[in-house]
Amino acid sequence: MGNPHGKPPRSDEAIAFAVVGQVLGISVEHADAGSGDGMVDGLWTYPDGRRAALEVTAGEASKEIGAEVRARRRGETTHHSGSVNLNKLVELLSKRLAEPWMEPNLNKLRAVNAAETHLYLWGRGKDDDFLYSTLADALPSTPMALPAGLTDLWLDAYVFRGEGTLRNVTVVRYNIAQGWSIHRAVYDEAILPMAN
């Protein structure tokens, strides 16, 4: 959803901008204020002139991940029973990125002239949080097939309160060239836009 002209980024966007900015050592520019729903959320330029784009979304809750978690809670055998099968979690995440609700976000990234396209994905409830935090606790060694046009996937895995208004964030990143990595960043909740 685009932001009205002159409006600051939404809170989820501001957090993603801060986290990605810290990890990559760049400053993300708010790109979709007043541009309607067809523009990515953030843009930046690396010192070497390469452009990059960021789209931030939570999307819809994952039905398959939810079914896995509910079955596990009932004590039924699932893909996650016993030791967690990280390959299966990567497969579930790939399916999540192929769900119909994701297409408008990916289309925005494909439409931008950028060397890198980044998707920052928030968990939608406990089921998605299970997937993201499990990947943060034990990174997979298997590569992941990202949708066409996407170079980087960011998963918001954990947020913990720090001192005062500081929040400590753990994110999982998948880059098509470098694979899986985990990163920690800090943002100040005081700088987030006020909810309307």
CA distance 56 to 12: 7
Is residue 137 a contact partner of residue 129, using CB atoms and an 8 Å limit?
no
CA distance 52 to 112: 9
State if pTM tops 0.75: yes
CA distance 67 to 195: 32
pLDDT category of residue 81 using cuts at 50, 70 and 90:
very low
CA distance 106 to 99: 11
CA distance 117 to 142: 21
CA atoms within 13 A on the CB side of 175: 11
CA distance 42 to 58: 16
Give tens-digit pLDDT for 103-152: 999 999 999 999 999 999 987 666 677 778 888 888 888 899 999 999 99
| Amino acid identity, position 45 | T
Per-residue pLDDT at 80: 45
Domain parsing of the chain, residue ranges: 11-191
